[in-house]
Structures are given as C-alpha cells and as structure tokens.
Structure 1
Amino acid sequence: MLSYQHAYHAGNLADVHKHALLAWMLDYLTQKPKPLTYIETHAGRGLYDLGGAEAVKTGEAAAGIARLRGAFAPDHPYARALSAIAIAHGAQAYPGSPLIAATLLRDIDSLHLAELHPAEHAALSAVPWPRKVQIHRQDGFEMAQALCPPTPRRGLMLIDPSYEVKDDYARLPKTLQQIHRKWNVGILCLWYPILTSGAHQDMLARLTAAFPGALRHEVGFPPVREGHRMTGSGLFVVNPPYGLDHESETLGKVFKTLD
C-alpha cells in the first residue's frame, strides 16, 4: 500500500515531538569532529508547504508547529534548522526529517534516504539539498538491512513508517533486533503513533523486552479533530545518547502546556 502522503500532516504535534528530539540528537553527535552516518527508512518528500491545500485542509500544522514554534529558544537545534529552512525556502516551508538532518549535519557525514512512493520519491529527489545525500527508491527496511553496518559506523537511523500496513507493528521488533545485531553501536530511533485502538502496545512490549536499556518517550495531545484516532506521539531509542532523557523531559513539559 502506497497511498500515504505526509503533506496533510506536516508540522503536526507528532512532527514537533519527533523533529525536536531528532535535531537535538544530531546536534549532540556533531559536537565531536568524527564523521557519522544518518539513515532514514521512510523519508517522505523532505520539504512541505504549510500554506498548501493539504496542510490547510487538515489544520494539523496550525495546531502543531504554529502553536509551539515560540516554545523553542533560538539556539535550540530544532529552531536553528527551522530558521535556516525558512530563509532558504520561505516562511511557509516546513522540513521533513531528511531536510532537518541535511541542514544540521556536515560535509563529512553520510546521509542515506529511502522512499518507495513514486510521487514522494520524485519530490524528495527534487529538493534543493544543502549538501550531498543519497536517495534510494526501495523498501526502507530492505535498505537498512543492506547498509548495516554502515561506513562510518558512528551514527543514527530514523525509522518512521506510516503504519498504513498493519504488519509494520508485528515486523518492527524483529527488524530492529536484526539491524542492532549488524550495527550494535548505532542509535536506532523508532517513531510510533499513540492510537485510541492501542495498536502500538504489543509492539512496544516486545521492543522493551528486547531492548531493556532503550529510552521510550511519549507525549499526549488533544485529537486535532473529532474522531481522530491519534492522541499522542512516541519515540523508542536504542543506544540513546547521553542527555536525551533530560531533553525529553524538557520537551514533555512543553507539550503539557497544551492541556
């Protein structure tokens, strides 16, 4: 199934949660002068227009980044990335995680992005990237398995499927274990939605059993519209960098202001 398009959801509260912590982790990693590898399994189109018909239709960006942009200090890595992208692409531009990574990482770092959806892949390829990236039109899980262990071995992988395919919930614990066996030093960051159906709960129980030292961080928020099934956002991070627990707690306080 390849019907999911993130343009309807870009800049929503789940994006703010995911992107703020991703930006912090990338900034932490770049404080050492050693190269790193960034891998993203489900990249999307990379750059979104919050003034476009899709974003306006759902109102998710208005309830998300439009409300919380001011909660981040100007020197926060997420705020720095948003500012740089607004300067480059306009005030209504919102970056997907690939463009956040390309903005914060350095020329010595390697970026691998996978996107299978034909239209999303075409849009991703057309982004005026600020640095070199390698874009793969293939299943993201297959790319991750093929690349690991990457060179450089130091780095981070973001796994952010749409969860349109319900098998993803069952597939992910085993997939993360396979990747970890190949790349035991890599930071593996899995995003998941918190749904009223509880579809994520069995997956998380299996992940927690497999990775007892992982960091799990969740935020809750009001449904963006009546009947919307997502009421929160979660990140499960294997090999979390030092200080991520404190940064997560700080971000959690920002989300509590939404109550």
Structure 2
Amino acid sequence: MLSYQHIYHAGNLADVQKHALLAWVLAYMTAKDKPLSYIETHAGRGLYALDAAEALKTGEAAAGIARMQTRFAPDHPYRVALNAIHARHGETAYPGSPLIAASLLRAQDSMTLAELHPREFDALRSNMARTGATLRHEDGLEMAMSVCPPTPRRGVLMIDPSYEVKDDYARLPKVLGDLRRKWNVGVLMLWYPVLHAGLHGPMLARIRQDQPDAEVFEIAFPPVRQGHRMVGSGLVVVNPPWGMVDEAQRVKALLARD
C-alpha cells in the first residue's frame, strides 16, 4: 500500500520537532572538519508547497510551521535551512528532511535517499537534482541495511516511515537493532507519531528494552482538527550527539508556548 503523500501534512508540528532536531544534529556534526554520511529511508518528495490545495485542506502547516518559525532564533540551524529554502523557492515552500540536510551538508559529505512511492520518487528526483544526492527507488529499510556501515562512517540515519503499513511498528525495533550492530557509531534517528490509539507503545517498549541507552524525545499537541488522530510526535535517537538532550528540551519548550 502506497497511498501516503506527505504534502497533506508538510510543516505540521511533528515536522517542526523532527526537522529542528535533525538540523541541530547536522550542524553539530558539520562543525568538525570531518566528512559524514547522511542516509534517509523514506525521503518523500523533498520539497512541498504550503499553498497547495492539499496542504491548505488539512490546516496542519498553519498550526505548525506558520506559527512556530519565528520562535527559533535566526541563527538556529533549522531557521537557517528554512531561510535558504525560502530564498531559492519562495516563502510558501517547505523543505522535507532531504532538503534540510542538503542545505546544511558540505561538499565532502555524502547523501543517500530512498523513496518507494513512484510519484513521490519522481518529484524527489526533480527537487534534489542539483544536490549530488544518491537516490534509490526502493524500500528504504532494505536500502539502509544494504549501505550500512557507510563511507564515511561518521553520519546520521533518518528513519521516517508513514506507518501506513501496520507491521512497521513490529518491524522497526529489530531493524533499528540490526542497523546499530552494523553501524555502531552512526546517529540513528527514528521518528514515530503519537496517536490516540497508542500504536507506538509496544514498539517503544521493545526499543527501550533492546536499546536502553537510546534517548526518546516526545512532544504532545492537541488534534489540529476534529477527528484528527495525531496528538504528538516522537524521536528515538541512538548515539545522540553531546548536548542533544538539552536541545530537545529547548525545542519542546518552544513548541509548547501559547
């Protein structure tokens, strides 16, 4: 099943949390003059128009990035990345994780992106054409297993499924453990939605059991509209860089302000 398209949800509060922390991690790691690898398993199309009918229909961007962007300092890596995208694509553009990464990585760094949805992959290929990224039209988790450990060995892996395939919740703890064994120095980031039904609960319990030193960062927020199932956003991070726990708390506080 490949029905999910992120344009309906781009720029929501979950994106803000996820992308703000990703941008901080990449800025922290690129501060050292050593190359790194960036790998993403579910890249989407990479760039979204928040004035598109799909984005306007849900109102999630209006409740998310439209309210939150100016809460980040001008020199915060997330704000820097957003400003770079706006300068190139206009104020209503919103970058997915691939373009956030592309705006912060350097010439010596490498990027490998997977996307399985045919139309999303075609859009990703167009939007990432000038970035030098390696694009793979395949299952992202299988891609990650095949390329890890990457060269260079320093690096970040973003696992960001749509969770439209229900066995993702059961599959991901083992995949995360296998990836850690293959790439023990990688910063492994797994995003998950917090839904009313609590589907993430057993997955998170298994990860905590298998990876007790992993950090878990969650935020809560009210449903953006009646009947909306998402009430929060979470990130599991294996090998978080020094200072990330404090940064996650700062981001959480920014998003919680009235």
Report the alpha carbon displacement of residue 38 of structure 1 after superposing the two structures with TM: 0.3
Aligned counterpart, 1:35: 35
The residue correspondences of 1:1-259 to structure 2 (distance < 5 A) are: 1-258=1-258
Distance in 1 of aligned mates of 2:93 and 2:206: 37
Kindly report structure 1 stretches of 4+ aligned residues shifted beyond 6 Å.
none
Matched residue type, 1:239 = N
Distance in 1 of aligned mates of 2:186 and 2:197: 31
Mark the runs of 5 or more structure 2 residues left unpaired by the alignment: none
Distance in 2 of aligned mates of 1:194 and 1:34: 36
Matched residue type, 1:101 = A
Q: TM-score, normalised by structure 1?
A: 0.98
Report the alpha carbon displacement of residue 129 of structure 1 after superposing the two structures with TM: 4.5
SS in structure 2 at match of 1:235: strand
Matched residue type, 1:75 = D
Report the alpha carbon displacement of residue 252 of structure 1 after superposing the two structures with TM: 1.0
Percent identical pairs in the alignment equals 63
> For residues 18-72 of structure 1, what are the alpha-carbon distances to aligned partners after superposition, in whole Å with 9 as ceiling and x for unaligned?
0000000000000000000000000000000001111011110000000001100
Preserved CA contact (<8 Å) 1:220 1:255: no
Preserved CA contact (<8 Å) 1:41 1:158: yes
Distance in 1 of aligned mates of 2:100 and 2:119: 21
SS in structure 1 at match of 2:149: coil
Preserved CA contact (<8 Å) 1:99 1:129: no
Report the alpha carbon displacement of residue 135 of structure 1 after superposing the two structures with TM: 0.5
Distance in 2 of aligned mates of 1:254 and 1:152: 34
Preserved CA contact (<8 Å) 1:107 1:131: no
Output the aligned Cα RMSD.
0.7
Distance in 2 of aligned mates of 1:124 and 1:112: 12
Distance in 1 of aligned mates of 2:146 and 2:5: 25
Report the alpha carbon displacement of residue 256 of structure 1 after superposing the two structures with TM: 1.6
Preserved CA contact (<8 Å) 1:218 1:234: yes
Corresponding pairs, count: 258
Distance in 2 of aligned mates of 1:53 and 1:71: 26
Distance in 2 of aligned mates of 1:75 and 1:128: 24
Matched residue type, 1:70 = T
SS in structure 2 at match of 1:23: helix
Distance in 2 of aligned mates of 1:156 and 1:195: 26
SS in structure 1 at match of 2:61: helix
> For residues 149-183 of structure 1, what are the alpha-carbon distances to aligned partners after superposition, in whole Å with 9 as ceiling and x for unaligned?
10001000000000001100000000001111100
Matched residue type, 1:184 = N
